[in-house]
Amino acid sequence: MDAAEFRKRGKEMVDYVADYLEKIDKRQVFPDVEPGYLRPLIPDCAPQDPESFEDVFKDIEKIIMPGVTHWHSPYFFAYFPAASSFPALLADMLCGGIGCVGFSWAASPACTELETVMLDWLGKMINLPEEFLAGKDGQGGGVIQGSASEATLISLLAARTKTIRRVQSENPELTEAEIMGRLVAYASDQAHSSVERAALIGGVKIKNVSSDDKFTVCGSALKKVLDEDKASGLIPFFFCATLGTTPCCSFDRLLELGPICNKENIWMHIDAAYAGSAFICPEFRHLLNGVEFADSFNFNPHKWLLVNFDCSAMWVKKRSDLIGAFKLEPLYLQHHHQERFRSLKLWFVLRMYGVTGLQEHIRKHVRLSHQFEHLVLQDERFEICAEVVLGLVCFRLKGSNELNKALLKSINEAKKIHLVPCYLREKFVLRFAVCSRTVESTHVKFAWQHISQLATDLLQTWEHDDHQQ
């Protein structure tokens, strides 16, 4: 394929993508296929000779689309949102065309520099303390990572290196392996599994800190476990606070936790993967108060700020901590591996929406989640399971876990909308996450009426059944 054919095919693909997104509400949000559906549909091995674009193109609808979960459908209310917008798609096309690899300044000056400046823009939008910004010659700064998991891992590793050095300088008789064996990381019992995985990768212990009845970690809970662990000879070194937990979007109390971490020489990392985007709205910024105590902070514009995957924004107060841990180039805050020109997406989206446009997007989602909350509250069969702060509503039928599992099953089998569940304490709970860029009040109303009807149908058969407990 030469440039001339690319011009033709590229424009066809632009139309295909525009059609797909414009009419996505006509597609069934969750596919009908069973595991293993795809292999029998395509040959066993790559063709020897080139196939035409037409042949490949027609297989998109025939082979791929039947197996796609449509994340951008306005009937998709599962997980958390995956951001998508037209300006970001345009930026990605440019990024692919330039096709540079930004592993050092010389390898691509524009790529490295735009990233640093865009993370300053973004940091200012959420009113991050100046220490986290690169500015012209600050010690802090931001970098784009692939995911919040990656940011958590990197901060845990930086904390590990820093702590080992400190403990070793205070106790020269201890070997690195002995210190490693005594290090403990902490996170809420509501934290994402990636924190546990980061500790597993870093070869250190991890302990849960108990959250309270609002699924929030407060200072006293952290202090309790720290005191116990220090008394038994362990070395607490890392705490991952969560703002907007995955199950129910609860918020750890930074203002209590931060001073404890600072006093105890514990690296505080804040994982605000989903919720962080909301901090661009002044009315939600208070949720971030206490960030001044943190060593690192992360949120995902690719979740809720209309920047397509992947774009996870991570800031540190001291770039030198990362450089110490990874032997990175000192001049710029570097990734631990090669990357594409991902900052172009941020640049396009921030400029073409403007701060006000992005605020509108956040506020619409929050408004729609409260709309759903009110609908649930009007139905006495249901209960709300956690405070609705941003775009997520946790709800369930008053009744057993089995009943709620049956309800979710009937929702997802009908495939008119798509939800995923979570557990809050031992309760099986349905999560209604406002996700799509194009979701409106009518979709939320439809979703509720549908859920409500399925609940009615379910409860009728359920009462005649011996499932009830």
Ranges within 155-214 binding its own copies (CB under 8 A): 157, 160, 175-178, 180-182, 193-194, 196-197, 200-204
User: Considering beta carbons, is residue 260 or 313 the nearer one to its own copies?
Assistant: 313
Select from 58, 61, 62, 63 the one that contacts its own copies (CB under 8 A).
63
Q: How far is the CB of 352 from its own copies (least distance, A)?
A: 6
Select from 357, 363, 371, 427 the one that contacts its own copies (CB under 8 A).
357
Q: How far is the CB of 404 from its own copies (least distance, A)?
A: 18
Alpha-carbon gap, residue 124 to 122, rounded angstroms: 5
In angstroms, the Cα distances linking 199 to 187, 202, 223, 438 are 11, 5, 20, 38
Alpha-carbon gap, residue 434 to 287, rounded angstroms: 20
Q: How far is the CB of 387 from its own copies (least distance, A)?
A: 26
Beta strands in 104-145 (DSSP E): 141-145
Q: How far is the CB of 181 from its own copies (least distance, A)?
A: 3
**Which of these segments, 116-124, 218-226, 232-240, 423-431, binds its own copies (CB under 8 A)?**
116-124
Q: How far is the CB of 51 from its own copies (least distance, A)?
A: 5
Q: How far is the CB of 122 from its own copies (least distance, A)?
A: 7
Alpha-carbon gap, residue 266 to 268, rounded angstroms: 6
Residue listed under structure tokens 């979570």: 422
Determine if the peptide bond prior to 310 is cis (ω within 30°): yes
**Which of these segments, 55-63, 366-374, 381-389, 400-408, binds its own copies (CB under 8 A)?**
55-63
CB 224 within 8 A of CB 260: no
Q: Is 155 helix (H, G, I), strand (E, B) or coil?
A: helix
φ and ψ of 98, to 5 deg: -65, -45
| 51 lies in the site for its own copies, by CB under 8 A | yes
Site mask for its own copies (CB under 8 A), range 306-325, x = bound: --xxx--------------x
How is residue 374 annotated by DSSP?
Answer: H
β-bridge mates for residue 422, sequence order? 429
In angstroms, the Cα distances linking 203 to 1, 168, 239, 272, 466 are 48, 18, 16, 24, 48
Alpha-carbon gap, residue 204 to 196, rounded angstroms: 10
Identify which of 306, 308, 417 has the alpha carbon closest to the alpha carbon of residue 69.
417
Alpha-carbon gap, residue 114 to 311, rounded angstroms: 14
Count Cβ atoms below 10 Å from residue 96 Cβ, excluding itself. Answer: 10
Select from 218, 225, 352, 384 the one that contacts its own copies (CB under 8 A).
352
Identify which of 368, 371, 395 has the alpha carbon closest to the alpha carbon of residue 381.
395
Rounded CA Rg of the chain: 24
| 446 lies in the site for its own copies, by CB under 8 A | no
Q: How far is the CB of 295 from its own copies (least distance, A)?
A: 18
Alpha-carbon gap, residue 469 to 406, rounded angstroms: 13
Alpha-carbon gap, residue 304 to 359, rounded angstroms: 11
| 330 lies in the site for its own copies, by CB under 8 A | no
| 327 lies in the site for its own copies, by CB under 8 A | yes
User: Considering beta carbons, is residue 310 or 321 the nearer one to its own copies?
Assistant: 310
**Which of these segments, 98-106, 385-393, 396-404, 457-465, binds its own copies (CB under 8 A)?**
98-106
User: Considering beta carbons, is residue 337 or 464 the nearer one to its own copies?
Assistant: 337
**Which of these segments, 341-349, 366-374, 382-390, 399-407, binds its own copies (CB under 8 A)?**
341-349
**Which of these segments, 3-11, 227-235, 252-260, 395-403, binds its own copies (CB under 8 A)?**
3-11
Select from 58, 61, 98, 460 the one that contacts its own copies (CB under 8 A).
98
| Tokens standing for residue 151 | 């940011």
| 234 lies in the site for its own copies, by CB under 8 A | no
Residue listed under structure tokens 């703002």: 243
User: Considering beta carbons, is residue 68 or 414 the nearer one to its own copies?
Assistant: 68
**Which of these segments, 246-254, 346-354, 370-378, 424-432, binds its own copies (CB under 8 A)?**
346-354
| 274 lies in the site for its own copies, by CB under 8 A | no
**Which of these segments, 88-96, 207-215, 249-257, 400-408, binds its own copies (CB under 8 A)?**
88-96
CB-based burial label for 388 (10 Å; 0-12, 13-18, 19+): buried
User: Considering beta carbons, is residue 203 or 286 the nearer one to its own copies?
Assistant: 203
| 238 lies in the site for its own copies, by CB under 8 A | no
